[in-house]
Every structure is written in structure tokens, then in C-alpha cells.
């Protein structure tokens, strides 16, 4: 009888399972974020189809054209199609931004797990490095590093990784400090599981959520950093199209062809908005009930 | 008398100070093969710390300050962390008080039950899953195939505790340490879980240590009992005898403070005073400031367990005082 009542309660509970699948479309910021970012990614992926001009091909007879049927967003000072450069620039900037988040994410999470779980000297050393990095403002350190290492995408990854892992480490370490006091960690130890197993299989899935949510907003920061570096001439090197370089190049013609700088600027803002909304929605959805 | 499985002598657990707190201070007890031993005492009497010390799972702030824990010829008190890890789960496993927090919230039940066999016994994925389903049937979880896919929050408290028991059994240990396994459950479920543990003990021939502050639970499930007070074991013996004729005033006071629904006229007596400060315990017998039968010779000296016949022992040097009091007014007959 008691068991029957329990089985009934169980059936009710199972009705509520798969919360994520049931609720995602009722979270407006998540839907909006996915739509905006999805469209941008789709356009970037379909860039060769969605534009009919070569983004690098110069045509000096067609410089600084206003928008027309052939050039929907006009041409730049070297006669290159702005629409094509915008789409191919999205490819570059999104790829670089995602990769630039991936390395700090992995490194910061790993160090955060180890420092939080083992504590002691590991925690002390890790926190010492964190303090060193945090002592500098984000952009100053990135620009200084890229300046020292030389421009180019590889060095952008290195610079952002050196600066960016700190945030993930701090988030994950904090979560681990709380989670490792939970009984399920004690229970896992009572089952004789190894530290590696406990960290990888029990702690990581429980602490990774916050880091993922932060990664979404971190991509925004990285896109801004990459665009800033491009603007300063330290970023992606020409002739590869990149939004930052487009803004910088268009600056000269701001009084006559204001759209040259404004269009990639708007693209940056929309992408950032999409990612922020996505991060917000994810945070809502992944929050434990 | 069956053979001794685990022999604990003079166990000491200390939270280094200042002031240093001796949570367990010279506790001795033993567990025999196939039996259930109850460890009973108030909150803060050191029963949970004693239990965790057995398998080297003390909190980081505490340390094992002395004593021997002999299990299968090995002293766990001096064993290396790796040796202790090898013992945990495979020879000695644990069941915790709160089945919600002791299960990983983001891991499926079936995976958690099969994890020990998978990573410690080298089972393949398929065999570990089969083992998990088999264990789930053993502990009475209905529809194991479906429940194995569920997450802990999708199960009721009773089923979660059954899952915990399945995990504890997954590597066929010889001894299961239960830390208040039913305290967080409501009474009907509590009863089911106790019956399950009892039947499993008989069927699988596993020994159980049952830590609880609930005398009725101990009386129902255990053959022998160790009563703890202020970090020390003050009385041991067969449950039946200890609860019917306690030979330590603390045991007697504990029994008198349990409400008895069958006998409403039975006078319910709270134990006067409060448990001692373990940073500065009373001299002599630690119970003397609260003891109704205190004598001048109780306030100084050492009070180790003294045998009272082959099966019983008490730390009280005036055991007849408690016995006489029980003859005058028997403690709960149902116990």
C-alpha cells in the first residue's frame, strides 16, 4: 500500500522530467538569443552563397559606391563589396571569438577544479597567478600582450587565454568549494572512488553550468577585444575580412560614407546582444529547480 | 560467539585547537561477522565522527588522534590513504542520513548504482548496468529499467534511500556503516527501509553498524548496542539486556526520556543539564554532573569499560544503582 502510493507519487514526478526541453521556448531571452545568434551564424556559414562578390577582390572602378542592387551595402575605398566583407568578417570574428573562449574555458575550469578540490599549495599558487592577472585591466593587458607577441590570430588566442582563464578559474573554484562539502562527494569517497573520478564525474557536471553561462557573455567580450585589436591594426591581418578593420578603414570616409564604419559596428552590437540574451536565457534554464 | 570482524580500541578523534576538541575520546567497540551493532547517543556524542573515522573519512579539520581499528588483520588507523580507499566501498561501505544530498543530482540513478562495479570491479558498461538493475530489484525499487534512467530529484525519499542502499551493496561489502539512515524519512517509509536492511543483512550475511539517536530503531534492528556519551562508549551488550536492565545511569536516563505510547502514565524524564563541552570535559566520569546516582568517587579518575559478565560491559563504577532503579520502576517494556 505504501509502495503503491510511492509509485503514484513517482509517476507524477516523472511527468515533470526533462524540464529543459519543456521550458526552453517559454524563456523569451533564450529564444531571442538563439534566433539572433542563429541567423548570424547561418549567414556566416552560408557566406559564399549569400553574397555574390569576392570579399577580397578589389575593383578600383567601383570605389565608395552607395548601396545598389549589385552591392546591397555599397563598396569600400578599394571597391570591395561591403555585404560580402561583412559576412566573411562574421566567419573570421566568430571563429576567432569561439576559439578564444574555448582555451581559457578549458584551462580555467581545470585549474579551478584542482585548486578548489585539493586546496593547499595548489590553491595558493593558482590564486597567486590569478592576482597577478587581475591586477591589470582586461584590455590593457590583452593589447600589451598582443603588442609584445605580434599581431595575428594565433597570438590573439594566446593573449586572451593568458588573461581569460582567470574568470573561469574563479567561478569553478568557488562552485567546487561549495559542492565538495556536499554529501554526494563524501558518498563517492565512501565508495572508494579515486580523486580523478570524483572530480571528473561528480564535481565537474555539477559546477560547469556557471562557467558555460559565463562563457556566453565572455564571447561578447572577446569579440569586442578582437574588433578593438583589429581597429588598432593588431588583430586579424589584411586581406582577411574582419569587422574591426572594416570600422577602422571606414573611419576616413565618415563624413561622406558614414555607413562604411556604422554597418560593421551595428553587426558587432547585434552579435553582442544575441550572445547576452542567450547567456541570460541559459542562466534561467540551467538554474536548478 | 561469531568471529570479530572489526575491532575498535581506544579510538580518538580530535579537532585541533585551540581549544582542541576531542569529539571521540577513547571509544572501544567491536563488530562481529553477520551482526547488527547499534551505536546510540545524543547529538554531539561523537557517534558520526567515530563512524567516519573507521574508513578514514573525517572532515578536513579533524584528525585521528589515536587508537586502533583492526579489520581483517589490517589496522585502518595506520593504513595509507590508498589502502583505505581500497577498503572503502569494497569491504566497508556507508549509507548516509540524507538520501537527497548523498546522491549526485546530475547523474542518473542507474549509473550511480553501477559506478562502483564499473570503475572498481572492472565490469564493462553493459555488465555494470545489468548489475545496477539487479541491485535495484534486490532493494525493491519498482520498474528498475525506467528508474535507472531517472535523476535523484525524480524519485521519492524512500526510493532514494533504497538507491543509496543499492550503491552501498554494489561491491558486496562485508560491513555497512549506516549513519542515521532513516532519520530524514517519514515513519512509514522508515519502517520499510529498516525491514529492508534487516532482510538484506540476513540474506547477504553482511554486518551492519547502525548509528542512531532513536532507541526504538536500534531495538528493532540490532543484536548488540554500544551507548556513547561525550565521545566515549559507556555501555555495551545485547540490545535486549541493555535496554531492559541498563547498567549505566546514562543509558537509563536515555531510556526514561523516550515517550511510551503504550503507557501514558509512564513518567517522561528529561536528562537534567546539557551534554558536556568536549573542549573541556568534566573530570572523572563524564556523566557525573548530570547523574542522579552520583557518588564522591565518580568525580575523579579513569572510567574505562569494565566487563559485566561475558557479553556486557559498563563504564559505571556503581552499576547496581541503575539496576536497583530499574527494579523499582521498569523502563519501557516494549523496547
pLDDT in tens, B189-222: 888 888 898 888 888 889 999 998 888 888 888 9
Residues from chain B that touch A10, judged by Cβ atoms under 8 A, are 147, 154-156, 159
pLDDT in tens, B233-292: 999 999 998 988 889 999 988 888 877 666 655 666 778 777 888 888 888 888 888 888
Do the Cβ atoms of B154 and A13 come closer than 8 Å? yes
Across the interface, of B102, B155, B170, the residue whose CB is closest to A10 is: B155
In angstroms, the separation between the Cα of residue A17 and the nearest Cα of chain B is: 7
In angstroms, the separation between the Cα of residue A23 and the nearest Cα of chain B is: 17
Phi and psi at B40, nearest 5°, equal: -125, 150
> What is the rounded distance in angstroms from the CA atom of residue A276 to the CA atom of residue A119?
33
Residues from chain A that touch B158, judged by Cβ atoms under 8 A, are 6
Residue A1 has what pLDDT? 42
Across the interface, of A182, A192, A201, the residue whose CB is closest to B101 is: A182
Residue B26: CB atoms within 10 Å: 19
Across the interface, of A9, A119, A288, the residue whose CB is closest to B156 is: A9
Q: Which of B49, B80, B106 to mutate to test the interface with A (most CBs of A within 10 A)?
A: B106
Among B248, B211, B171, residue whose Cα is nearest residue B39: B211
Residues contacting residue A139 through CB under 8 Å, at least 6 positions apart: A225, A228
B38, β-bridge pairs: B210, B225
In angstroms, the separation between the Cα of residue A261 and the nearest Cα of chain B is: 47
> What is the rounded distance in angstroms from the CA atom of residue B227 to the CA atom of residue B212?
10
B21, β-bridge pairs: B15
Residues from chain B that touch A15, judged by Cβ atoms under 8 A, are none
Residue A122 has what pLDDT? 93
Across the interface, of A7, A13, A16, the residue whose CB is closest to B142 is: A7
Query: Under an 8 A CB cutoff, do B120 and A205 touch?
Result: no
Residue A17 has what pLDDT? 46
B88 burial (CB, 10 Å; 0-12 / 13-18 / 19+) is: buried
Select the more confidently predicted residue: B103 or B181: B103
Q: What is the mean pLDDT of residues B67-77?
A: 89
Residue B330 has what pLDDT? 76
Residue A7 has what pLDDT? 52
CB pairs under 8 A between A and B: 96
Q: Which residue of A has its CA nearest to B154?
A: A13
Q: How confident is the model at residue B133 (pLDDT cuts 50, 70, 90)?
A: very high
Residue A238 has what pLDDT? 77
> What is the rounded distance in angstroms from the CA atom of residue B106 to the CA atom of residue B116?
17
Residue B300: CB atoms within 10 Å: 11
> What is the rounded distance in angstroms from the CA atom of residue A207 to the CA atom of residue B87?
29
Residues contacting residue B275 through CB under 8 Å, at least 6 positions apart: B42, B43, B44, B45, B229, B230
Across the interface, of A14, A183, A189, the residue whose CB is closest to B98 is: A183
Query: Under an 8 A CB cutoff, do B192 and A205 touch?
Result: no
Residue B334 has what pLDDT? 46
Across the interface, of A183, A191, A206, the residue whose CB is closest to B167 is: A191
Query: Under an 8 A CB cutoff, do B159 and A6 touch?
Result: yes
Residue A21 has what pLDDT? 59
Query: Under an 8 A CB cutoff, do A193 and B120 touch?
Result: yes
Residue B73 has what pLDDT? 84
Q: What is the mean pLDDT of residues B294-319?
A: 86
Residue A16 has what pLDDT? 44
Q: Give the whole-number percent of chain B exceeding pLDDT 70.
A: 96
- The whole-number mean pLDDT for each consecutive block of 10 residues of chain A, a chain of 289 residues, reads 49 48 75 91 85 76 76 77 87 87 94 94 94 90 89 86 93 93 91 92 89 87 84 80 84 83 90 89 73
Q: How confident is the model at residue B70 (pLDDT cuts 50, 70, 90)?
A: very high
Query: Under an 8 A CB cutoff, do A6 and B189 touch?
Result: yes
Query: Under an 8 A CB cutoff, do B94 and A187 touch?
Result: yes
Residue B262 has what pLDDT? 63
Residue A96 has what pLDDT? 86
Query: Under an 8 A CB cutoff, do B89 and A190 touch?
Result: yes
In angstroms, the separation between the Cα of residue A97 and the nearest Cα of chain B is: 30
Residue A20 has what pLDDT? 59
pLDDT for residue B2 is more than 90: no
**Chain A contacts to B (CB-CB under 8 A):** 2-3, 6-7, 9-10, 13-14, 16-17, 119, 182-184, 186-194, 197, 201-202, 205-206, 288-289
Do the Cβ atoms of B204 and B172 come closer than 8 Å? yes
Q: Give the whole-number percent of chain B exceeding pLDDT 90.
A: 29
Q: Which residue of A has its CA nearest to B95?
A: A187
Query: Under an 8 A CB cutoff, do A7 and B101 touch?
Result: no
Query: Under an 8 A CB cutoff, do B150 and A17 touch?
Result: yes
Q: Which residue of B has its CA nearest to A1?
A: B188
A232 burial (CB, 10 Å; 0-12 / 13-18 / 19+) is: middle
Residue B260 has what pLDDT? 64
Amino acid at each position: 500500500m505504501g509502495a503503491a502510493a510511492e509509485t503514484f507519487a513517482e509517476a507524477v514526478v516523472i511527468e515533470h522530467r526533462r524540464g529543459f526541453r519543456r521550458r526552453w521556448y517559454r524563456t523569451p531571452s533564450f529564444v531571442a538569443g538563439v534566433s539572433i545568434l542563429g541567423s548570424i551564424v547561418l549567414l556566416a556559414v552560408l557566406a559564399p552563397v549569400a553574397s555574390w562578390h569576392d570579399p577580397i577582390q578589389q575593383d578600383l572602378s567601383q570605389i565608395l559606391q552607395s548601396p545598389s542592387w549589385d552591392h546591397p551595402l555599397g563598396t569600400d575605398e578599394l571597391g570591395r563589396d561591403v555585404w560580402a566583407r561583412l559576412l566573411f568578417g562574421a566567419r573570421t570574428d566568430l571563429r576567432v571569438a569561439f576559439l578564444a573562449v574555448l582555451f581559457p574555458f578549458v584551462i580555467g575550469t581545470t585549474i579551478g577544479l584542482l585548486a578548489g578540490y585539493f586546496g593547499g599549495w595548489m590553491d595558493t599558487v593558482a590564486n597567486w597567478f590569478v592576482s597577478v592577472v587581475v591586477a591589470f585591466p582586461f584590455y590593457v593587458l590583452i593589447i600589451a600582450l598582443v603588442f609584445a607577441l605580434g599581431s595575428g590570430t594565433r597570438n590573439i588566442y594566446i593573449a586572451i587565454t593568458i588573461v581569460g582563464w582567470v574568470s573561469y578559474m574563479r567561478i569553478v573554484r568557488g562552485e567546487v568549494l561549495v559542492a565538495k562539502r556536499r554529501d554526494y562527494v563524501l558518498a563517492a569517497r565512501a565508495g572508494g572512488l579515486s580523486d580523478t573520478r570524483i572530480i571528473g564525474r561528480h564535481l565537474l557536471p555539477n559546477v560547469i553550468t556557471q562557467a558555460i553561462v559565463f562563457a556566453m557573455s565572455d564571447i561578447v567580450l572577446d569579440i569586442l577585444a578582437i574588433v578593438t585589436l583589429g581597429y588598432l591594426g593588431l588583430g586579424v591581418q589584411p586581406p582577411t575580412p574582419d569587422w574591426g578593420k572594416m570600422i577602422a578603414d571606414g573611419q576616413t570616409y565618415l563624413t561622406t560614407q558614414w555607413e562604411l564604419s556604422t554597418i560593421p559596428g551595428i553587426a558587432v552590437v547585434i552579435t553582442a546582444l544575441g550572445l547576452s540574451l542567450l547567456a541570460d536565457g541559459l542562466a534561467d534554464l540551467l538554474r536548478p529547480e | 560467539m561469531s568471529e570479530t570482524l572489526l575491532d575498535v580500541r581506544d579510538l580518538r578523534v580530535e579537532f585541533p585547537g585551540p581549544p582542541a576538541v576531542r569529539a571521540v575520546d577513547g571509544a572501544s567497540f567491536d563488530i562481529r561477522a553477520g551482526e547488527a551493532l547499534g551505536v546510540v547517543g545524543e547529538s554531539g556524542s561523537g557517534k558520526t565522527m567515530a563512524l567516519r573515522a573507521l574508513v578514514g573519512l573525517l572532515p578536513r579539520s579533524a584528525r585521528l588522534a589515536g587508537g586502533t581499528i583492526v579489520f581483517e588483520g589490517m589496522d585502518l588507523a595506520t593504513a595509507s590513504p590508498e589502502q583505505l580507499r581500497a577498503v572503502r566501498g569494497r569491504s566497508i561501505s556507508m549509507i548516509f542520513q540524507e538520501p537527497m544530498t548523498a546522491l549526485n543530482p546530475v547523474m542518473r540513478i542507474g549509473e550511480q548504482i553501477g559506478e562502483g562495479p564499473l570503475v572498481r570491479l572492472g565490469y564493462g558498461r553493459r555488465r555494470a548496468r545489468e548489475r545496477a538493475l539487479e541491485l535495484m530489484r534486490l532493494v525493491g525499487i519498482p520498474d528498475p529499467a525506467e528508474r535507472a534512467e531517472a535523476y535523484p530529484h525524480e524519485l521519492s525519499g524512500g526510493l532514494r534511500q533504497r538507491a543509496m542502499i543499492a550503491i552501498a551493496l554494489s561491491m558486496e561489502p562485508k560491513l555497512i556503516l549506516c549513519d542515521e539512515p532513516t532519520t530524514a524519512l517519514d515513519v512509514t517509509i522508515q519502517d520499510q527501509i529498516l525491514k529492508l536492511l534487516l532482510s538484506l543483512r540476513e540474506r547477504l550475511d553482511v554486518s551492519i553498524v547502525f548509528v542512531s539517536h532513536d532507541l526504538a530503531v536500534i531495538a528493532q534492528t540490532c543484536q548488540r548496542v554500544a551507548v556513547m556519551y561525550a565521545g566515549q562508549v559507556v555501555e555495551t551488550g545485547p540490545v535486549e539486556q541493555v535496554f531492559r536492565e541498563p547498567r549505566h545511569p546514562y543509558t537509563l536516563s536515555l531510556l526514561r526520556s523516550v515517550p511510551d505510547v503504550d503507557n501514558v502514565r509512564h513518567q517522561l524524564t528529561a536528562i537534567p543539564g546539557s551534554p558536556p563541552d568536549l573542549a573541556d570535559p568534566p573530570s572523572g566520569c563524564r556523566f557525573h554532573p548530570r547523574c542522579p546516582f552520583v557518588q564522591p568517587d565518580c568525580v575523579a579518575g579513569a572510567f574505562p569499560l569494565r566487563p559485566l559478565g561475558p557479553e556486557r560491559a559498563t563504564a559505571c563504577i556503581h552499576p547496581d544503582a541503575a539496576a536497583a532503579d530499574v527494579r523499582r520502576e521498569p523502563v519501557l517494556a516494549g523496547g
